[in-house]
Amino acid sequence: MLLDRVAAPELLADAVENHLKPYLSKKFLNLDTFLHSYCLETMDNISSTLSLSWETRVTILFEYIESTEFRINLALEVMRRVYVPWSDSIDEFFKKVNFNLNFIFFKKATISEIKTNIGSIFESTN
């Protein structure tokens, strides 16, 4: 994939802005769909090696996803796949998206309740 060629995570933002967005626009493809799929694929491929290198890539690309549904799904996937104790990058990720962890973990909410709660948080930050 195009983003796989970007070896350094700190260069991902530039790659998205200057290369990926224009390319997807020319091909009439949706950026949110592409990034969501890419992040899931990255987590699938790298998590099998117990590497934490996917965390930085996914947290950077998350910022470019505008769809609330894709953001919620990706955030839940990150929560499901992350190892405990969380790394600093994952801790920052959850702080950025304003997760209410008490709601999720201590009230044993259903997935639909979690999506509703997280969705309202994302909508209030946009």
CA dihedral of residues 101, 104, 106, 110 (deg, nearest 10):
180
- Residue 64: count of CB within 10 angstroms of its CB: 16
Cβ atoms of 3 and 37 closer than 8 Å = no
What total number of domains does the chain contain? Answer: 1
- Do the domain assignments include residue 64? yes
Walk along the chain (126 residues) and give the pLDDT tens digit of each residue: 788 888 888 899 999 999 999 999 999 999 999 999 999 999 888 754 445 578 889 999 999 998 878 888 898 898 888 877 888 888 888 877 765 444 444 445 555 666 666 666 555 555
Residue with tokens 């965390």: 55
> Any idea what DSSP says for residue 9?
G
> How high is the pLDDT of residue 88?
84
> How high is the pLDDT of residue 98?
62
- Do the domain assignments include residue 4? no
- Do the domain assignments include residue 3? no
Range of the domain at 60: 9-125
> How high is the pLDDT of residue 86?
80
- Do the domain assignments include residue 2? no
> How high is the pLDDT of residue 24?
95
- Do the domain assignments include residue 24? yes
How is residue 15 written in tokens? 């790659």
- Do the domain assignments include residue 32? yes
